[in-house]
Structure 1
Amino acid sequence: MSQHLSLLLADIMQALKQAGLYSQQPPSPQAMASSMPFCCDSMPLEQWLQFVLIPRLQTMLAAGQPLPNKVAILPMAEQVYAGRDEKIQPLLAAITRLDLCLNKP
């Protein structure tokens, strides 16, 4: 599972880059301190994916910690990216695979 999840996280990073949503600059410490789901009050979803979710899951994998098993990132992504062009489709597909992977019993 850890190898599969690592590949899924790499797919999301690649999809962010292909969609032009990859950021070279990390969010501010204040933005990172948000307690809202998806840090929706302090950063765009693509930054949350890149600077919060992916590093957190990578840290959990490296430490052998239990992974979350009830996630629903796709509905938020579909809402945020509604109406975008087809360049966003690989990102949505990668998020779908991540949701499915983490929600397996």
Structure 2
Amino acid sequence: MPEDYQELSRHLQRLEEELLAVGWWSDTPPDDHAMASTAPFCHDRMDFHQWLQWVLIPGFERLIEQQSALPKECAIAPMAEMAWREEDPVRVRNLVRILRDIDRQVSDP
């Protein structure tokens, strides 16, 4: 597997671990109605951390598995900062840092 896919896979693993650490990882997926959202980040039907778990991570994992082209640009961290602006900054600091790493790695392979 090419190094860029391996690095992205490591970032996704860190993201999953941090979502677990802050208590935002769920064993129960959003309902079909939420998953059918066409809004950016499914913001109309799920929380941002749910979108990360159920849309972003599986989507990137599929691209890695198929060794498909990654997006040319990625800017997830700014959305996280906006979505979590009311959260304790200490709680979300590592999550935002990981998302910045993903943004950089995908945008500047």
CA distance in 2, matches of 1:26, 1:46: 12
The aligned runs of 1:1-105 (5 Å cut-off) are: 1-85=4-88, 86-104=90-108
**Offset of 1:89 from its aligned partner?**
0.9
Q: Is the 8 A contact 1:69 1:102 kept in 2?
A: yes
Gaps of 5+ in 1: none
Count of residues paired in the alignment: 105
Q: Is the 8 A contact 1:13 1:22 kept in 2?
A: yes
- In the TM superposition, structure 1's runs of 4+ consecutive aligned residues that sit over 3 Å from their partners are none
CA deviation string 1:52-92 (max 9, x = no partner): 01001100111111011211111110011114221211111
Aligned-residue CA RMSD in angstroms?
Answer: 1.0
Q: Is the 8 A contact 1:18 1:87 kept in 2?
A: no
Q: Percent identity?
A: 36
Gaps of 5+ in 2: none
